[in-house]
Amino acid sequence: MNDIIELVRKNLKNFIRAKSGALVVILGPLLVIFLAGLAFDNSNVYSVKIGTYRPEAEPATNILLDQLRGEFKVVEYDTKEKCVNAIKNTDINTCMLFDANFTIGVPKKNQITFYVDYSRINLVWTIMQTMTEQVGEKNLQASQNLTKIILNTMDYTQKRLKDQRAAVTKLTTQNQLMLQNNKDLIAELGDVNLGFDESGYQVNDLESSRTQVKQWMESALALSEKGLSKSTTFIAAANDLVKASGASQELKDKLTASLASTLDEIKKLKADMTELKTVTQESFKQFDNQIEAINQAITDTKTDLQQADTSRQMSLRVLEATTRLLDQSLLTTAEIQLIINDVDNKINAIEIKDPGAITQPIVTSIKPIVQEKTYLNYLFPVLIVLVIMFTALLITPTLILLDKHSPASFRSYMTPVKDSSYIAANFITAFILLMVQVIIILAIASVFFSSQVLTNIPQAIFLLVIISSLFILIGMVLGYVFNSEETATLAGVSIGALFLFISDVIIPIESMPEAFAYIASFNPYVLGSSLLRRALLFDSSLLSMYQDILIMLGYIIAAALLASGLYMMTRNYSLQQLTKKLTPVLVKMHLKKK
Amino acid sequence: MDDALEEHLHITAEKGVSRDELQKLLLKAGWPAGQVSAYIQKTFKTIEKGVIIRVAGISKKFGENAVLDTVDFDINRGEIFGLIGMSGAGKTTLLNLIVGFLRPDQGDIMLVMPDGTIRSVIKNPELIKEHIGFSTQTPSFYEKLTVRENLEHFARLYHITEPDLSRRCNALIELAGLKDAKDVLAAQLSGGMQKRLDIACALIPDPSILILDEPTADLDPILRKQFWELIKQINVKGTTILLASHFLAEIELLCSRIAILQNKRIAELGTADELRNIYSKDYEIYLEIATQDYSKLLKELDKRKRLFTKATAETGELVIETPTPEQILPLISTYLEHQRGMIQSLHVARPTLGKVFEAVVKR
């Protein structure tokens, strides 16, 4: 245990006596935590700028915008394009487009489209959340109003229906009475015997008898006419012949005989006619019997009909009563109809009946200002600057310190090479290494990412050179300030982390306190990633980004001057340190004396 | 000396200032006459004696701790100048001041140019790069470059271009005996080869002065011997060499003059013999016999005390310090014959530089 304590004591002494290292180790994280704490110590979205475009200034949009103005900076634009471009130029964070004739709750007129920059993912979600809250509040209010109208209508309908409940009861009673009357009428009518016994009238027999008689009569008449005609004709002819004939007697005798035969026949005919008359008489007798039977049947029917008439009279009375009830029912129904019409009008008066519009009177949609395949595409510029930043902040000091600690630096110092050449060589070496990395990343990006990301290559390369230069120069400052690789690496990581924390990678700058957000907007990492994002994702021209580029160039000049100054200031000190390192005895002696 | 005067002196020195002019300037600046005289004497003495470099009144402090205090010495053109001192005496600090790694708190370092003008290397650090080669205890080259690549790299930094570059590199490779290893990575070279490469690198600008700081500290005796041979070769070619080492025997053999740095100043300076004479004019007789019993001989010697200064028997060896070894040696011979003692070793020498050094340190 004592050994461990002793070793720990030794370690701590070693650590504390390495002043710059101890300072960075202790102050670096403290500074990062302090600044990150300042940056993140809030939960609001302070500085979100909302751009808006609305074809007309409808009241609904005014209300919404007034509500937003309470918490955000709202900038109105003339056109949709200007509004969207303002996001690309980072003038605003979101663009809010209203439907033409924007009306809350009216489909196809109630949409608000938010255009956002998906490359700022965390801000996108913040904006979406905030706008959803803001519009959602209005949405809820509108939804409540619409529901209130429906509920009022329902209330009114209920009240009117309640008023008509007695009428409906009355109608029911009347209908019940009508039902009873109808039942009675049915029973009554059921009792009416309207049966007709067709067999009782023997109409068929009468018909056949009559037909037979008729035939007989016709036959008799025909026969009579025939007989009479023949008799008449024959007798006349015979008489004439006999009288006028010069014929022999024999002949005349024959003729007389013939006449006598004819006369016999006429006699036979007469007999037949007599027989026929008899038969006809019998038939007519039967016919009379049948008619009598029919008369009887008719009398029976008459009786029945009289009974039916009695029933009809009764039914008529019942029907009259029913008619009266129906009249009353009609009146009641008309009243109900009026109420129904009233309620119907009330319901028709509800403008918004679409369930979607009632539950969501304002429809919001979020669209990206540029369409990429994946989030990685949106993040690509930020990631590449992140890689450049950390690589430059770590590689550059390492390069410088490797050379600083190399015994060969003595030899280099002895050569007649200008200090500026060393500084430039360090810069160019780090730049080459960084560019190799960037080329690898771009090559990978060209394979995996959308072509759009790499369309603006010339501008992207220009910006990458600027961004890389700045971070390399910052790395050079670290390399010249610090004397150990570990300390410089820690300082590089601390500075990188600081840049990272005070950027919009973790939380949006817009959600930082205003003063802090203002400072963060000048963070080289924020500027660099913003420039590259605008160039790669939005095809922004260098001219449109000149302000940020000038700031970056200013940083580069300042960092270059600082790095050069530090190199000049620390060169001899570094050599002394190296001298001490190479001649440990000397150092030991000095320490003892001190 | 104020900056303006120093600057003026620097300018005039560059032009080749005359003694009278310098005297006028210093007096005009309000210097005391004695100080002016001393300064002029120091400054112009170098020219008179063919000195190549003059360290004039150099003082250096680290914080409150003074490491060097008014150090003065000259190095002559073409000599091998040795600098010895205890660890921490300030040798490396002094060398670092000469090569410009450190700036003195006081004093100046003058370089006598081939045309005879005197120039301050403090004011003209570029002179160091042109005229001084430096090799530290730790070899100073890039381990991940080959021998040739290292030489070519530094040659280019010295603005040597083809075809001189190849010629110079080949010559240095040849001189350093690295012909067979010219394409080997420096990290893979042996310690001796690395040291030789370091020297080769230091010689790239063909410096007038080569400064070596403990160049053989990490080398075994054989490699050290090879290295000293190389140094001799370089010196023969006309390069002045300033050498700091704690291998006193080798310094003694190699250096034409030696300075002992002690108590922040040059305590002694001279040739090896001059230093020995400062310490003692006696010779030393070293005797070792098989029995290691010198009591009888010491008794005999006691009878002739006038012949020797000191006689001590330590660590099995008898050391007799005497101004007349030729009178002592017969006595020893006679004694050994009578005693029949078997001689292990017997030699006569002047006091070693180590003894001189010890004496100076103890003083």
Contact (CB, 8 A) for A400 and A479: yes
Mean pLDDT of A75-84: 87
> Could you read off the pLDDT of B211-239 as tens digits, one per residue?
988 888 777 788 888 888 888 888 988 89
Q: Mark yes or no for CB contact B137/A583 under 8 Å.
A: yes
pTM for the model: 0.64
Q: Count CA within 13 A, CB hemisphere, residue B272.
A: 18
Report the mean per-residue pLDDT for chain A.
Answer: 78
| Higher-scoring residue by pLDDT: A554, A371 | A554
Residue A505 CA, distance from chain mean position = 33
Instruction: Give the domain extent around A523.
Output: 375-593
Per CB-CB distance under 8 Å, the chain A contacts of B142 are 406, 408
Distance to chain A for B268, nearest Cα, Å: 21
Residue B332 pLDDT greater than 50, yes or no? yes
Among A354-358, B255-259, B263-267, name the most confident range: B255-259
Bridge partner list, B313: B318
The mean-pLDDT minimum among A106-120, A417-431, B32-46, B72-86 falls in B32-46
Nearest to B157 among A417, A572, A575 (CB): A417
Q: What are the two backbone dihedrals, phi and then psi, of residue B177, each rounded to the nearest 5 degrees? A: 70, 35
Per CB-CB distance under 8 Å, the chain A contacts of B102 are 572, 575-576, 579
Give the CA radius of gyration of chain B: 25
Residue A10 pLDDT greater than 80, yes or no? no
Contact (CB, 8 A) for B286 and B346: yes
Q: Mark yes or no for CB contact A586/B154 under 8 Å.
A: no
Residue A1 falls inside a structural domain: no
pLDDT at A29: 64
Residue B273 CA, distance from chain mean position = 15
pLDDT at A298: 81
Number of inter-chain CB pairs under 8 A, A vs B:
81
Per CB-CB distance under 8 Å, the chain A contacts of B69 are none
Mean pLDDT of B47-52: 67
Q: Mark yes or no for CB contact A407/B138 under 8 Å.
A: yes
Q: Which of A406, A409, A414 to mutate to test the interface with B (most CBs of B within 10 A)?
A: A414
DSSP secondary structure code for residue A466 in this structure = H
Domain boundary at B250, B270, B290, which?
A: B270
**Domain tally, chain A:** 2
Tokens representing A471? Answer: 């971070």
| Higher-scoring residue by pLDDT: A284, B254 | B254
Residue B61 CA, distance from chain mean position = 22
> Could you read off the pLDDT of A498-509 as tens digits, one per residue?
888 888 777 777
Q: Mark yes or no for CB contact B96/A579 under 8 Å.
A: yes
Contact (CB, 8 A) for B218 and B137: yes
Q: Residue B240 maps to which CATH number?
A: 3.40.50.300
Mean pLDDT of A459-488: 89
pLDDT at A592: 38
Contact (CB, 8 A) for A534 and A565: no
Type of residue at A258: S
Contact (CB, 8 A) for B73 and B47: no
Mean pLDDT of A551-565: 94
Q: Is B141 on the interface with A (CB under 8 A)?
A: yes
Domain boundary at B270, B300, B326, which?
A: B270
pLDDT at B173: 92
Of the pLDDT bands very low, low, confident and very high (cuts 50, 70, 90), residue A26 is: low
Residue B39 falls inside a structural domain: no
Q: Is A415 on the interface with B (CB under 8 A)?
A: yes
Residue B109 falls inside a structural domain: yes
Nearest to B154 among A407, A411, A585 (CB): A411
> Could you read off the pLDDT of A510-524 as tens digits, one per residue?
777 777 788 888 999
d(CA A93, CA A52): 11
Residue A138 pLDDT greater than 50, yes or no? yes
> Could you read off the pLDDT of A432-473 as tens digits, one per residue?
888 888 888 777 777 766 555 566 778 888 999 999 999 999
Residue A377 pLDDT greater than 60, yes or no? yes
Q: Where are the alpha helices (DSSP H) in chain B?
A: 3-15, 19-28, 33-49, 91-98, 125-131, 147-157, 164-176, 191-202, 221-236, 248-254, 272-279, 295-302, 325-339, 353-362
Contact (CB, 8 A) for A556 and A531: no
Q: Residue B321 maps to which CATH number?
A: 3.30.70
Of the pLDDT bands very low, low, confident and very high (cuts 50, 70, 90), residue A558 is: very high
Q: What are the two backbone dihedrals, phi and then psi, of residue B126, each rounded to the nearest 5 degrees? A: -65, -20
d(CA A321, CA A315): 10
Q: Is B240 on the interface with A (CB under 8 A)?
A: no
Distance to chain A for B363, nearest Cα, Å: 20
Residue B32 falls inside a structural domain: no
> Could you read off the pLDDT of A175-205 as tens digits, one per residue?
888 888 888 888 877 777 766 666 666 667 7
Distance to chain A for B87, nearest Cα, Å: 7
Give the three-state DSSP class for B118.
strand
Q: Mark yes or no for CB contact A572/B103 under 8 Å.
A: yes
Residue A115 pLDDT greater than 60, yes or no? yes
Contact (CB, 8 A) for B53 and B209: yes
Tokens representing B20? Answer: 């009278």
Q: What are the two backbone dihedrals, phi and then psi, of residue A564, each rounded to the nearest 5 degrees? A: -65, -45
Residue A226 pLDDT greater than 70, yes or no? yes
What angle is formed at CA B67 by the lines to CA B63 and CA B68, rounded to 5 degrees?
125
For residues B5, B11, B13, B19, the Cα torsion angle rounded to the nearest 10 degrees is -50
Q: Is A557 on the interface with B (CB under 8 A)?
A: no
Q: Mark yes or no for CB contact A414/B63 under 8 Å.
A: no
Contact (CB, 8 A) for B352 and B77: no
Of the pLDDT bands very low, low, confident and very high (cuts 50, 70, 90), residue A86 is: confident
- Whether residues B164 and B93 share a domain: the answer is yes
Q: Which of B95, B101, B206, B213 to mutate to test the interface with A (most CBs of A within 10 A)?
A: B101
For residues B218, B219, B225, B226, the Cα torsion angle rounded to the nearest 10 degrees is -110
Per CB-CB distance under 8 Å, the chain B contacts of A425 are none
Type of residue at B37: S
The mean-pLDDT minimum among A516-530, B4-18, B200-214 falls in B4-18
Domain boundary at A338, A368, A398, which?
A: A368
pLDDT at A587: 37
Mean pLDDT of B201-205: 88
Residue B64 falls inside a structural domain: yes
Domain boundary at B216, B244, B270, which?
A: B270
d(CA A356, CA A358): 5
Burial of B226 (0-12, 13-18, 19+ CB in 10 A): middle
- Whether residues B333 and B226 share a domain: the answer is no
Report the mean per-residue pLDDT for chain B.
Answer: 82
Cis omega (within 30 of 0) for bond into B163: yes
Q: Mark yes or no for CB contact B137/A582 under 8 Å.
A: yes
Q: Residue A139 maps to which CATH number?
A: 3.40.1710
- Whether residues B173 and B265 share a domain: the answer is yes
Per CB-CB distance under 8 Å, the chain A contacts of B205 are 414-416
Q: Mark yes or no for CB contact B132/A406 under 8 Å.
A: no
Residue B127 pLDDT greater than 80, yes or no? yes
Give the three-state DSSP class for A259.
helix
**Domain tally, chain B:** 2
DSSP β-ladder status, B265-270 and B257-262? antiparallel
Nearest to B141 among A411, A415, A590 (CB): A411
Q: Is B53 on the interface with A (CB under 8 A)?
A: no
Q: Mark yes or no for CB contact A586/B88 under 8 Å.
A: yes
Q: Mark yes or no for CB contact B140/A407 under 8 Å.
A: yes
Burial of A503 (0-12, 13-18, 19+ CB in 10 A): buried
Instruction: Give the domain extent around B328.
Output: 281-362
Residue B66 falls inside a structural domain: yes
